[in-house]
Amino acid sequence: MFGSYMVPLKKWPNYSSWAYLSMMTLGALLSALVVAFYTGTFNVHPVGVFCGLLWVVGGAFCFWAVQAEADLAGAGVRSMGVSILASFLSGVLLFGEQSKFFLSIPAIACFLIGLSRLSPSHGGSVFKNWRSLLGGFAFGTYLIPYKLALQSGLSMTDVEFLCPFTIGIFVGSQALIAVLEIRRKKMFEYKLVPSVVTVLMGVLWTVGMHGCFWAIDVNGALGYAIGYPLTQLNLLVNLGWGVFVFGEYKTARERIKLLLATFIILAGAVLLTLSKG
């Protein structure tokens, strides 16, 4: 799910990333509301709404990166690597989560090495891809307010959290887009076919979020230790779209470089998961 929902940005490069953000969050909201009313979990808790607003920051940078960095596969790897790294560090440093450092330190090294291998193909520092890096950082930290609230006694399940979370995402994205349209004195173009497909991608994202929470739930079928690494397989789907469908990383050397960086980062993700066990 997560490996496919940004594909329209690559399929229609002239379709604005901001129009995509608007329509994708609309699809996410509509599908989340259907689930919320069906399960009786509709609410507008401010913590969920605030986390949704923070998510918009990550979403905006990542969607922008797919087009501006012209690298769907690499942008996905960079964003995911920084996201997992930021999530881990915030857990250990901010929430005092236990970690086996003989595993977590090599894991962090894997992330840094893997990300350094994904510098722009035309040369230069990996930080030239600052959009995907910032997007990954935002995606790795937007749940901090929710975690702090749970520590303070908030009683809310992940499914209950998703409703106000998607409301915050929708409101935040529409507000951001309105400001941008006012500044440019022109509305973004919403072509019919890309817009309809993008709304469906929002539905796909919501399904992915529910699947993710189901996978990592300690009382669920898989649990965190197994479920979390499996959720990272979305990266392989993302790479498949970029390399095999859109022809990114055309030469054998570029593909080997991408493949090695991907496996190094995935190894880091597995080590981080084991370090929490």
**Which of the pair, 62 or 21, is modelled with greater confidence?**
21
Cα separation, 130 vs 38, whole angstroms? 40
Q: What proportion of the chain, given as a percentage, has pLDDT over 70?
A: 78
pLDDT band, residue 236 (cuts 50/70/90): low
pLDDT digits (tens, 9 = 90+) for 135-175: 889 988 888 898 889 889 999 988 899 999 999 999 999 99
Mean pLDDT (whole number) for 225-254: 67
The dihedral through the CA atoms of 47, 53, 54, 59 has a sign that is positive
- Tell me, what's the pLDDT at 193? 95
Q: What proportion of the chain, given as a percentage, has pLDDT over 90?
A: 31
Q: Give the chain's radius of gyration (CA, Å).
A: 18
- Tell me, what's the pLDDT at 224? 46
pLDDT digits (tens, 9 = 90+) for 30-49: 999 999 999 999 999 999 99
* Residue 273, pLDDT above cutoff 80: no
pLDDT band, residue 231 (cuts 50/70/90): low
Cα separation, 90 vs 104, whole angstroms? 13
- Tell me, what's the pLDDT at 54? 94
Using a 10 angstrom Cβ sphere, with 0-12 exposed, 13-18 middle and 19 or more buried, the burial of residue 180 is middle
pLDDT digits (tens, 9 = 90+) for 189-220: 999 999 999 999 999 889 888 877 776 554 55
Cα separation, 11 vs 158, whole angstroms? 33
Cβ 66 vs Cβ 9: under 8 Å? yes
| Mean residue pLDDT across the chain | 81
Mean pLDDT (whole number) for 241-269: 79
SS3 label, residue 216: helix
pLDDT band, residue 118 (cuts 50/70/90): low
Residue 192 — left, alpha, or beta (φ > 0 → left; ψ -120 to 50 → alpha)?
A: alpha
Nearest residue to 213 via CA among 158, 166, 167: 158
- Give the count of alpha carbons within 13 A of 219, CB side only: 2
Mean pLDDT (whole number) for 50-71: 82
- Tell me, what's the pLDDT at 221? 52
